[in-house]
C-alpha cells in the first residue's frame, strides 16, 4: 500500500493537462504527461494485484472501433475498460457501415451520448488513420459545444498509420521495469531494426512509435533497415529533434549487424516500405484486387533479397555481452515455427518469450491509464480516493 | 435535485399498468403511459447529468435481436441497458439461426433464463415484424406460466414493420423540450412528408410511428406523399381516430408544398410504397434475387418522378415564419453530400444538424424508460429510492 | 434463507480440490466435486431467486471461445459470467485467427492478463477438442509460473469431442430435482438411445457425457444405437468401470425398444458414427468440400435405414408405466415440425416440452458453479459471506 501511495505522490507533482484531450501520438504529450501515464498504469496494476478495485464508473460506454483485425489490442482495450467499469460496444463496420467523410461527424455523435471513451484502430491506409481519429475528435468537440453530448469521450489511438502509442507505451513501461526505472534508459542503445517476413503490408506505426518514444529518454537509437524500407519522413525529423533535445542520439544504418553491435535492446520487426504503403492506398480505395496482388508480389519479391535480416543467435551475439533484451509487439514471425524464414530464430524467441509476454501485459493498464487521464483532471486525488474506498475487486478474496 | 423530485411527483400520479408488459406500439399505451415514459426518460437523464447512477440491476441480461442493420439504435439500446446495469448479449442470426416458426418459442425461452429485457428490430418483412415480436412475447408468457422462466423479460420494439416507438418517442420528447412542454404541441401543425431518395425499401414504420404518436397531442397532422406511396391502411385509420379524439386533425395531400405551408414542424423522409413492400415479402422469402432486382429497378424508376420532393430552402420558406423545426430519424439523404439528389438540401440540414442530433440523444433514455417501466410496478418509488441512495455514476466526480 | 444455509452446510463438508483447476471431463472429478458443483449451482439459483446478488467480481474478463455455432450455450455462459460480475469478451476466430499449434500458447496468454474464466466449445474435430483445451490450460499454467499472468483463469469445457459437462451436469441437476434428490437415481433405468435425424455430423459428446455421468449414481444405463453408430471406445470402457463401481450397470443393445422397456428416463438423440467422425477430420482439415459432401451423402443414406429409431408414443408406451421422463439437450429434430422424420414425435415432445426447457434452465447455474469452484478454494465460506452481505440483485425489488 505504501508503494501505491508513493506512486500517487510522484503522480501528484506532474504538471499535466490531459483531461478532455485524446491520446493520439506520444510526441504530442509532454514528458510529464508521458510519465504520468506510466505512473497511473503502474498504480492501477498495483491496485488490482492487491485486490483493490479501481472501478470508477458505475455505468458508461466504451466504443471500440477496429478498422483492422486484432486480438491482443481488442482484449487489452476490453480489459482496460472493464477494469474501470465501462461496457464495451463494438462499432463494427460490417454491421454499421461507418465511413470516412461527412458521416464521420454524425456517427461520432450518435455513438457517444453515454460514452466515456472511444478506442480506434485504423492503420491500413497511410495518411488516413490519424486524420480519421482527429476528424472524430473534432466532431465530438462540436457535439459537446452544441450541447448534444453531455461530456467529451476520450479517444485512444489503438494504432494508426503514424503511431501505435498503446504498444510503445507498454513497451517502455516494460523497459522501465526491466532496467529499474525510466532514468536507467539514458545512454542505453536500442536497435529498432527491420526484419525479414514472408508477408507484406505491415504498418509503419510500430517502429515509428518506438523511435518516437525512445527519443525522449536520452537513448542512443539506431534505426536499421534495407534501403527503400523508409519510414515517414516527418516522423524521422521529429525523432531526430527529440533525441537531441533529450541528450540522446538517432542514427540510421542499412546494416542489421551494425545496429545490433553493443545494443542493450533490440526490436527486430518487419514493416512495409513507406513507398509501397503509399502506392497501396489508391489500390485499396479502388478495390483493385489485381493491382494489390501485383504490388504484393513485387513487395514480397523485394523482401526476399533481405531474408538474412533475421534476429539469429549470431546477431544476438553482437549485442552488449550478447544479452540485449529482445522485444516484439507480437505475433512474431518465427523461423521454422510460424514460417520457413522469418524475423527471429526460434531459439532466440524461446529465450525471450516470457519477456515479450510481460511486455504485452502492460498494455491493458496503459490503455486504462490513458482513459482515466483523458477523463479526470486530478488523477492523483481520484486514485487516492479509490485507495481509501478500498473496495475489493474480488469479494471475499 | 428539486427538479428531479418534481418530475417524480408528476410520475407518481400517472395511472399506468406497464409492468410485465411489452412496449410494441405506442397506440396500445394509454396517454398516461406515454407521458409516464417521457417522465421516466427525463428523470433518468437528469439523474445521469447530476452524476446519480440509476443502476438498478447488479446483474442481468438484455438481449438485442437485430434482424436488420443498425448503428444508432444498437448503441442506444446498449447505452440504455448498461445504464440500468444489464449486460447486452446479441442474438445474432448469423451465429444462431433464430427463425420464425416453431423455433421462436424455444429460442425465446432458451435466451431468457436470466434475462430482464429483449430488444427486437425486425422491420424488413411487412406483416411479420410485429407478429414475430408478439410470438416471442407469447412464448415468454408461456415460459413464465410453466415455471421455466423466473420472470418475464420486457420486450422493447426497436422497430418493426408497423411502428418504431423508440424513434417516435425520442422525436416527441425532443419536441416537448423544444417547444416547452407536451401541452405546447396542441394546435401545432406537423408535416410528415415523403421525400425523394435514390434508395428504396425504407420501412414505413418511421412515418407511421410519427403520425401514430402525433395524433395524441391535438396536433394538426398533414401526411404528404406522391400518389401510390401509401402507408398501412389500418395505421391511417387509427391515426384519424386518435387525432379526432385528441382534438387535432389528420389530413392527406399529394403536395409537399401544401404540407409545408405554415407548418411548425416538418419531417421529410423517404419510404417505400406500401404496395412495393407487400410485393417484396414473397421475393425476400424466396430469395429471388432477380425478382428483387427487378422490383428495385421499377421502384427506383418510379421514385425519380418525384425528385422534386426535396426539403429545400424554398420549401422551408413556406413554413411558419420560414422557421419550422426540421426533423429526421437520421441518417438523412442529403443532396450533394450523401447523394446527388436526396431528401434534404445541404444548407437546410446544416442549419438543423444539432437539432437532429439532440432529437437522437433522447433515444437511450426512452429505451431505458421502457425497460424500467416494463419491469417495475412502482417506478416513482423506485426512482425516489435511487435518488435517496445517491450513488455516484462516476466515482469521485 | 434457511434452505440456502442448509445447502451451504452440505457444501461445507464436501472434500474438494477444484480451485485453480479446469472443468473438462466429469469423470476427472470426484464424487464430492460433482456434488459440490450441483450444490453451488442450486445455491446460486436460490440466491438469485431471492434477489440476493451473487456477484463476486467488481471487474474481470470471461473469454468465450466458440469454435462452433451455439445459441443456448453462448447465452448460458454469458448469463453465468454476468451473474458473477464478469464481462464476456468473445475470441472470435473470424476476427482473430486463433489456431491450433504454437500460437495457442501465445494467444492463451495474450487474452488472459485480466481474465478469470475461459469457456471453450470445440467439438467439430474428433481427437482435437479436448487436446486443444488442455493445450490452453498448459499455456496458462506456464504463464502463471512465469509471472506473466497474475492468476490462473479457470477453463470450462463448453463441449468438446469427448464430453459436454455443462450439458450433462444440467441434465442431472434436472433429474435430481425431478426425482427428489441425486440418491433417488440409484436403480433407475436410463435409456441413452440414438435416434434418427435427417442431418449428420452431430457430436458424440452429448451421449458420452450422459453415460459418463449417469454411471456415477448407481443407475442402470442402457446405451442403444444401430450397429456402426459407436461411441469412443475409451469412454465406453470408463463408463463400464464407473457403473460397476457405483453399483449400477451399463449395457448395450441395438434395439431402441429394448432400451425403452421399463425405462425411467429416455434420452433419444442423434449422433454421427464414431467411424464417420474419424473420417471427417482429415477432410475438414484439408477443406475437402467434395470429400465432405460425399461422406455426408453416404452417412445420410445410412441414417435412412434407421428412420424408425424415433421416440414415438408407441415407444414411450414401453417405458415404466408409459411415463418415463423424456430428455433432450435441444434443439430436437421433431417429426412434422422441424423435419419430415426426426428424433421424436411431435406429441411426445409437446408433452415434455416444459421439462426440456427446465432441463436447460440449469445450465447457466452449472457454468457459474464451475467458474466459482475453479476460482475459490473455500466456496462455502464465500457463499455464506455473499448471503451475509445481502446485496439485492435488483435494487428496490
- The answer to whether residue C11 sits within a structural domain is yes
* pLDDT value at residue B93: 62
Nearest CA in chain B to A85: B394
> From CA C192, how far away is CA C265, in angstroms rounded?
8
* DSSP conformation letters of A310-348: -B-HHHHTTSGGG-PEE---S---BBTTTBSS-SB-HHH
* Same domain assignment for residues A41 and A149: yes
Cross-strand partners of C193: C224, C268
C89 touches A at CB < 8 Å: yes
* Same domain assignment for residues C185 and C87: no
The whole-angstrom distance between B83's CA and the closest CA on chain A is 5
Mean residue pLDDT of chain B comes to 95
* Same domain assignment for residues B152 and B73: yes
**pLDDT digit string (tens) for C121-144?**
998 888 899 999 999 999 999 999
- The answer to whether residue B397 sits within a structural domain is no
The candidate with the shortest Cα–Cα distance to B198, out of B384, B44, B51, B342, is B342
The whole-angstrom distance between A57's CA and the closest CA on chain B is 5
Cell of B1: 435535485
* Same domain assignment for residues C212 and C195: yes
Nearest CA in chain B to C70: B96
Strands A265-269 and B265-268: unpaired
* pLDDT value at residue C216: 98
Q: Which of A58, A91, A109 sits opposite B55 (nearest CB)?
A: A58
Whether residue C98 has pLDDT greater than 80:
no
**pLDDT digit string (tens) for A160-208?**
999 999 999 999 999 999 999 999 999 999 999 999 999 888 899 999 9
* A93 band by pLDDT with thresholds 50, 70 and 90: low
Average pLDDT, stretch B41-54?
Answer: 98
**pLDDT digit string (tens) for B364-390?**
999 999 999 999 999 999 999 999 999
Nearest CA in chain A to B81: A59
Whether residue A324 has pLDDT greater than 70:
yes
- CB A382 to CB B396 under 8 A? yes
Reduced to 3 states (helix: H, G, I; strand: E, B; else coil), residue B174 is helix
Nearest CA in chain C to A392: C58
Interface test with B, best of C71, C95, C199, C335 (most B CBs within 10 A): C71
- The answer to whether residue B61 sits within a structural domain is yes
Domain range for residue A102?
A: 2-163+363-389
Predicted ipTM of the assembly: 0.95
**pLDDT digit string (tens) for A3-19?**
999 999 999 999 999 99
B57 touches C at CB < 8 Å: yes
The candidate with the shortest Cα–Cα distance to B283, out of B270, B273, B275, B293, is B293
Between A157-166, C147-156, C290-299, the lowest mean confidence (pLDDT) is in C290-299
- The answer to whether residue C394 sits within a structural domain is no
Q: Which of B334, B357, B396 sits opposite A148 (nearest CB)?
A: B357
C382 touches A at CB < 8 Å: yes
The candidate with the shortest Cα–Cα distance to B65, out of B33, B110, B25, is B110
Interface test with A, best of C114, C140, C153, C388 (most A CBs within 10 A): C114
Q: What are phi and psi of B162, to 5 degrees?
A: -110, -50
C150 vs A contacts (CB less than 8 Å): 48-49
Average pLDDT, stretch A340-355?
Answer: 97
* pLDDT value at residue B98: 45
Query: How many beta-carbon pairs below 8 A join chains B and C?
Result: 104
Reduced to 3 states (helix: H, G, I; strand: E, B; else coil), residue A203 is coil
Whether residue A97 has pLDDT greater than 50:
no
* Same domain assignment for residues A339 and A374: no
For residue C174, say if its preceding peptide bond is cis, omega within 30 degrees of 0.
Answer: no
**pLDDT digit string (tens) for C232-252?**
999 999 999 999 999 999 999
Q: Which of B55, B109, B386 sits opposite C357 (nearest CB)?
A: B109
C63 vs A contacts (CB less than 8 Å): 75
- CB A87 to CB B85 under 8 A? no
- The answer to whether residue A253 sits within a structural domain is yes
- CB C113 to CB A361 under 8 A? yes
- CB B82 to CB A91 under 8 A? no
* B124 band by pLDDT with thresholds 50, 70 and 90: confident
* Same domain assignment for residues C83 and C159: yes
B337 vs A contacts (CB less than 8 Å): 102
The residues, ordered by sequence, that sit 6+ positions from C257 with a Cβ below 8 Å of its Cβ are C315, C318
Nearest CA in chain B to C82: B59
Helix (H) or strand (E) holding C338: none
Q: Which of C71, C78, C393 sits opposite B58 (nearest CB)?
A: C393
- Indicate the number of domains in chain B: 2
The whole-angstrom distance between B7's CA and the closest CA on chain A is 20
Chains touching chain A, criterion 3+ CB pairs below 8 Å: B, C
| CB of C360 closer than 8 Å to CB of B110 | yes
A89 touches C at CB < 8 Å: no
Reduced to 3 states (helix: H, G, I; strand: E, B; else coil), residue C139 is helix
* Same domain assignment for residues C259 and C325: yes
Q: From residue B7, how far is each of B19, B387, B391 by CA, in Å?
A: 20, 12, 19
- For the packed helices C379-389 and C31-49, what is the interaxial angle rounded to 10 degrees? 10
Between B23-37, B98-112, B141-155, the lowest mean confidence (pLDDT) is in B98-112
B110 touches C at CB < 8 Å: yes
Interface test with B, best of A57, A83, A114, A382 (most B CBs within 10 A): A114
- CB C360 to CB B97 under 8 A? no
End-to-end CA distance of chain C: 17
Q: Which of A59, A111, A389 sits opposite B55 (nearest CB)?
A: A59
* C230 band by pLDDT with thresholds 50, 70 and 90: very high
Query: H helices of B13-115, where?
Result: 31-49, 72-84, 93-96, 102-110
* DSSP conformation letters of C195-231: ---S-----SHHHHHHHHHHTTTT-EEEEE--TT---
Mean residue pLDDT of chain C comes to 95
- The answer to whether residue B67 sits within a structural domain is yes
Query: How many beta-carbon pairs below 8 A join chains A and C?
Result: 104
The candidate with the shortest Cα–Cα distance to A214, out of A181, A248, A237, is A248
| CB of A125 closer than 8 Å to CB of B338 | no
C85 vs B contacts (CB less than 8 Å): 59
* Same domain assignment for residues C70 and C171: no
Whether residue C95 has pLDDT greater than 50:
no
* A98 band by pLDDT with thresholds 50, 70 and 90: very low
Burial of B3 (0-12, 13-18, 19+ CB in 10 A): exposed
| CB of C171 closer than 8 Å to CB of C355 | no
B148 vs C contacts (CB less than 8 Å): 354, 357-358, 361
Instruction: Please say whether the dihedral angle defined by the alpha carbons of residues A327, A331, A335 and A341, taken in this order, is positive or negative.
Output: negative
> From CA B14, how far away is CA B17, in angstroms rounded?
10
* Same domain assignment for residues C209 and C313: yes
* pLDDT value at residue B101: 57
* B77 band by pLDDT with thresholds 50, 70 and 90: very high
> From CA B113, how far away is CA C174, in angstroms rounded?
15
* Same domain assignment for residues B36 and B117: yes
C96 vs A contacts (CB less than 8 Å): 69-71, 74
Interface test with C, best of B44, B83, B87, B145 (most C CBs within 10 A): B87
**pLDDT digit string (tens) for B171-182?**
999 999 999 999
> From CA A207, how far away is CA B89, in angstroms rounded?
38
**pLDDT digit string (tens) for B237-281?**
999 999 999 999 999 999 999 999 999 999 999 999 988 989 998
Cell of C350: 409437446
Reduced to 3 states (helix: H, G, I; strand: E, B; else coil), residue C5 is helix
| CB of B61 closer than 8 Å to CB of B115 | yes
B338 touches A at CB < 8 Å: yes
The candidate with the shortest Cα–Cα distance to B331, out of A151, A113, A61, A105, is A105
Average pLDDT, stretch A380-394?
Answer: 97
* Same domain assignment for residues A312 and A373: no
The whole-angstrom distance between B59's CA and the closest CA on chain A is 12
* Same domain assignment for residues C297 and C371: no
- CB C96 to CB A70 under 8 A? yes
Whether residue B59 has pLDDT greater than 80:
yes
Nearest CA in chain C to A71: C96
* pLDDT value at residue C250: 98
* pLDDT value at residue A210: 98
Residue A310 belongs to a domain with what CATH number? 3.40.50.1370
B151 touches C at CB < 8 Å: no
Amino acid at each position: 500500500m505504501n508503494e501505491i501511495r508513493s506512486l500517487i505522490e510522484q503522480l501528484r507533482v506532474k504538471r499535466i493537462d490531459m483531461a478532455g484531450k485524446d491520446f493520439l501520438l506520444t510526441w504530442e504529450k509532454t514528458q510529464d504527461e508521458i510519465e504520468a501515464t506510466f505512473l497511473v498504469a503502474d498504480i492501477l496494476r498495483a491496485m488490482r494485484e492487491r485486490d483493490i478495485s479501481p472501478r470508477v464508473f458505475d455505468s458508461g460506454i466504451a466504443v471500440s472501433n477496429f478498422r483492422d483485425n486484432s486480438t491482443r489490442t481488442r482484449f487489452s482495450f476490453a480489459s482496460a475498460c472493464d477494469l474501470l467499469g465501462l461496457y464495451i460496444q463494438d462499432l463494427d463496420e460490417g454491421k454499421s457501415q461507418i465511413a470516412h467523410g461527412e458521416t464521420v461527424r454524425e456517427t461520432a455523435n450518435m455513438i457517444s451520448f453515454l460514452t466515456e471513451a472511444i478506442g480506434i484502430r485504423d492503420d491500413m491506409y497511410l495518411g488516413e488513420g490519424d486524420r480519421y481519429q482527429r476528424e472524430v475528435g473534432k466532431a465530438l468537440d462540436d457535439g459537446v459545444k452544441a450541447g448534444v453530448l453531455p461530456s467529451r469521450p476520450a479517444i485512444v489511438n489503438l494504432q494508426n498509420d503514424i503511431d501505435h502509442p498503446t504498444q510503445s507505451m507498454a513497451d517502455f513501461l516494460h523497459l522501465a521495469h526491466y532496467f529499474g526505472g525510466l532514468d536507467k534508459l539514458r545512454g542505453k542503445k536500442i536497435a529498432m531494426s527491420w526484419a525479414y517476413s514472408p508477408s507484406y503490408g505491415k504498418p509503419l506505426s510500430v517502429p515509428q512509435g518506438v523511435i518516437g518514444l525512445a527519443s525522449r529518454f536520452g537513448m542512443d537509437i539506431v534505426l536499421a533497415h534495407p534501403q527503400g524500407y523508409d519510414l515517414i519522413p516527418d516522423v524521422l525529423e521529429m525523432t531526430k529533434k527529440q533525441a537531441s533535445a533529450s541528450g540522446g542520439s538517432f542514427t540510421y544504418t542499412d546494416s542489421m549487424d551494425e545496429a545490433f553491435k553493443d545494443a542493450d535492446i533490440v526490436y527486430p520487426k518487419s514493416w512495409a516500405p513507406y513507398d509501397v504503403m503509399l502506392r497501396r492506398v489508391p489500390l485499396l480505395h479502388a478495390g483493385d484486387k489485381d493491382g494489390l496482388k501485383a504490388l504484393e508480389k513485387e513487395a514480397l519479391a523485394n523482401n526476399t533479397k533481405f531474408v538474412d535480416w533475421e534476429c539469429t543467435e549470431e546477431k544476438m551475439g553482437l549485442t552488449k555481452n550478447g544479452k540485449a533484451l529482445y522485444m516484439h509487439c507480437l505475433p512474431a514471425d518465427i523461423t521454422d515455427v510460424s514460417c520457413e524464414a522469418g524475423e527471429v530464430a526460434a531459439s532466440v524467441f524461446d529465450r525471450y518469450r516470457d519477456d515479450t509476454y510481460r511486455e504485452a501485459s502492460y498494455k491493458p493498464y496503459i490503455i486504462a491509464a490513458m482513459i482515466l487521464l483523458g477523463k479526470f483532471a486530478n488523477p492523483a486525488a481520484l486514485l487516492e480516493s479509490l485507495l481509501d474506498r478500498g473496495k475489493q475487486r474480488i469479494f471475499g478474496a
